Structures are given as C-alpha cells and as structure tokens.
Structure 1
Amino acid sequence: MPRKVDTHQRRTRIADALMRVAAEQGLEAVSLRHVAAEAGVSAGMVQHYFRTKDEMMGFAMSVVRDRTQARVTEAIARLGAEPAPRLLLRTVITAILPLDEEARDVGRVALAFLAYTAVRPAAASALREDTAGMTAFIAGLLSVADPEPAAAGLLALMEGLGVYLLGGHYTAEQALAALDDQLDRLFP
C-alpha cells in the first residue's frame, strides 16, 4: 500500500530550509539547488512542490507570518481576559521584535522578504494586507484624536527597532525603552 504524503508538511520542510539559507546567507543565496540541499531532498522534489522560486518564496513568507502570529497569540493569551490597550500593544510588539535568537532568525528572514517584495509588487500583496490589518488593529486600541497616523507611526517604530536590533545597533533594553517612551506618549 502506498504511503500517504503530507503535502503541507513537505512544503513546510522546504520552506524551513529556505528560511535557514536566507537567515544564514541572505536571499541572494536562495536557489532551488541550495534549498534542496539544505532540506536534504532532491531538486526534483522541490520543483514538484514549487513550480517557481516566487511560489516557494510566497509559501515561505506565509510560514513566517503564521509562526509570528502564533507567537503573538501565545503572548496575548498569557495576558488574561481584557488586557489594557497599552499592555496589549506592548505585548504584541515585543512578541514581534527580534529580542531573542529565535525571533532574530525569523526577523532576518522577514527583513529579507520585505526587500524581496520591494522589487516584486505581486509578491507584496500579502504583506500589504498584513500591514493594513496591523495598522487597523493598533488604531483601534488608540484613543487619540487621529489614530491612523499614530498607528502608522507606531508600526514604523516597530519595524525600525527591528532593523536596528538585527543590525546590532540597539540592545533589547534600548529598543524596549524607545517602545515604552512612544507608548507613554500615546497612553499618557
């Protein structure tokens, strides 16, 4: 009797390999051959599950998004029922920021994906939706006169802190102090 193949599991294995290559060597090193070698599978298997590099990249971006969402969901669950908006925002943002090694690996890959989508508008549609959703979520928690620009500014701060953390320009303590300063301004 033939074995049943879990297509999603195999695609995720390949996406994990892509992310390891991207985290260690940058997206420029991502190729069908490199990803197959990192995953321990044949190039033919990678081609079976992903017709193009863009398709493989899109799936890997969705894996990163899902894992980040899971980390955020776990962090929020630890807050209990109906946390204060400031605490909820801080929790969400700190769950996303690359403050530990695992989050730094994901952050390096996410940053590489952001650069990848900058020159591929079709690949950027999912990221645009995520950004719009995150902006709306943040704006819904703010009680300022014009929440949309304030939410966009907080999201930009989070992204900038992420880049500075990844580059080693800020320590975790410096990044969290900057975040707390901005949250104190939004929640006096």
Structure 2
Amino acid sequence: MALPRSVDHDERRAQIADALARVAARDGLHAVSMRSVAAEAGVSLRLVQYYFTSKQQLLVGALRRLEEQSNERWRERLSALDAPTPRDVLDAFLLEAIPTDGPSYAFYRVSSAFAALAMTNPALAAEPLAGGVGRLRSSIHEAFLEADRLGQVAPGVDLGVETDSLIALCNGLSTAVVIGHHTPERAVEVARYHLDRSFSSGQL
C-alpha cells in the first residue's frame, strides 16, 4: 500500500496567498473573503481557516508572499546584467515598483489595500511585514550611497531625502497607473526623469 503523500505546509500557504492576490488584483479587496479565496485556490474553506485564522492574517500572509516574489523579480532583472551599476539597481527598482505587468500590478493592489485598512486598524498598522519596508529603504539608500562613492551623484543631493522621495514618487505614480491617469510607460518615464536629476551628467 502506498503511503499518503506528506503535506507541504509552506506550499499550501503559498497556494492560498497567491489565490488572495489574484482575487484582490482582479476584483478588489472588497471581494476578498475566506470563502472567495478558498474557491479561487480550489481548496475547502476549512483548509483556508486552518492556515489563516482571520482575513487579516490571510492578507498579511499574501502581502509577505508578494513581497518575496517582488524582491525575486528585482534580483532577476539585475542578474541579467554583467556588472550592475548603482543606477541599474535603482532602475530595476522603478520597473518593479511601478505596475508594469500582472505580478507588479497585483502586488500594488494588495499592498495599497493593506495600507488603506491599516489607517483604521491599529493591529494591522503594527504588523511589521517581516521588515519589508525597512529593507526596501535600506536597499535603495545603499544604491545611492554606492553611486555617491563612485562620484556619480550630482552635487548637493541629500541621499536620505532622495531615497524617501524616490519611493514616495513610485507609490504615487503606481496609484496613477492603477486608476488610469498614467500608462505604465509614462510613469516609468517620469520616475527615470526624476532619477536622472540625481545623477551627474554623463554618469548615468
């Protein structure tokens, strides 16, 4: 008699989290429920409740999963280059941060919905999301610091302010893309224009 196949719990959680992301990206967060996610994932409601005891936990799990996938896509963009420069790192961030395809669109839809809920939900606002925001800022800031060490940053640029303003600009442009005020191409063009002004002429 064949033994039953052991359950990969991480795989199950990922399957359910991915289903939430698809529902949220396609129908909006208001359409997300434990039941709708179960139907999308093709599993029972009881199974979803086994891994995630509340919609809040489910949302956090999905956002962590999307963050991991986003970081992996960022790394893949850079791995395609022989010797990525600091500017390449920042440009890859722009292409991932702004919704330019299905995965980045889903990430933005879920993360912005999370932020909206956190405004009125103290428990959600306190969720650190595994330090994702801090790690993102650290990566961007380190790219600016390296560019500065190489003499590529324009004189007078405040690297901390530049880091925060680039992240904020991408967030705003992402909203404009999702609601149809900008195309992804135009949003990337605007972000690159802003980034160009931080670098010295001829050092892009």
Alignment match, 1:56: 58
Partner Cα distance (2:103, 2:35) in 1: 25
Residue identity over aligned pairs, in percent, reads 37
Moved more, 123-132 or 92-101: 123-132
Partner Cα distance (1:30, 1:168) in 2: 22
Which one of 125, 131, 155 corresponds to residue 167 of structure 2?
155
- How far did 1:146 drift? 2.5
- How far did 1:145 drift? 4.6
Partner Cα distance (2:188, 2:25) in 1: 24
Alpha carbons of structure 1 residues 101 and 51: separation in structure 2 relative to 1, 3 Å:
closer
Alignment match, 2:79: 77
Partner Cα distance (1:162, 1:154) in 2: 12
Q: Find the residue that maps to 1:89 and give its secondary structure.
A: helix
Partner Cα distance (1:130, 1:101) in 2: 21
Partner Cα distance (1:132, 1:2) in 2: 42
- How far did 1:130 drift? 2.3
Alpha carbons of structure 1 residues 165 and 147: separation in structure 2 relative to 1, 3 Å:
same
Partner Cα distance (1:49, 1:183) in 2: 42
Q: Which amino acid aligns with 1:111?
A: S
Partner Cα distance (1:137, 1:155) in 2: 11
Alpha carbons of structure 1 residues 80 and 102: separation in structure 2 relative to 1, 3 Å:
same
Residue ranges of structure 1 left out of the alignment (5+ in a row)? none
Q: Which amino acid aligns with 1:108?
A: R
Does 1:19 find its partner at 2:42? no
Partner Cα distance (1:121, 1:184) in 2: 38
Moved more, 88-97 or 63-72: 88-97
Residue ranges of structure 2 left out of the alignment (5+ in a row)? 149-155
Contact 1:75/1:92 (<8 A) preserved: no
- How far did 1:159 drift? 0.8
Query: What are the residue-to-residue correspondences of 1:96-175 with 2, within 5 Å?
Result: 96-124=97-125, 125-127=127-129, 129-142=131-144, 143=148, 145-175=157-187
- Normalised to the residue count of structure 1, the TM-score between the two structures is 0.89
Partner Cα distance (2:129, 2:171) in 1: 13
Q: Find the residue that maps to 1:134 and give its secondary structure.
A: helix
User: Which of the two has greater helix per residue?
Assistant: 1
Contact 1:76/1:91 (<8 A) preserved: yes
* Superposed CA offset, 1:83-104 (max 9, x none): 2222220112212321123322
Partner Cα distance (1:173, 1:102) in 2: 16
Partner Cα distance (1:32, 1:135) in 2: 32
Partner Cα distance (1:133, 1:105) in 2: 20
Structure 1 moving runs of 4+ over 6 Å: none
- Normalised to the residue count of structure 2, the TM-score between the two structures is 0.83
Partner Cα distance (2:9, 2:157) in 1: 49
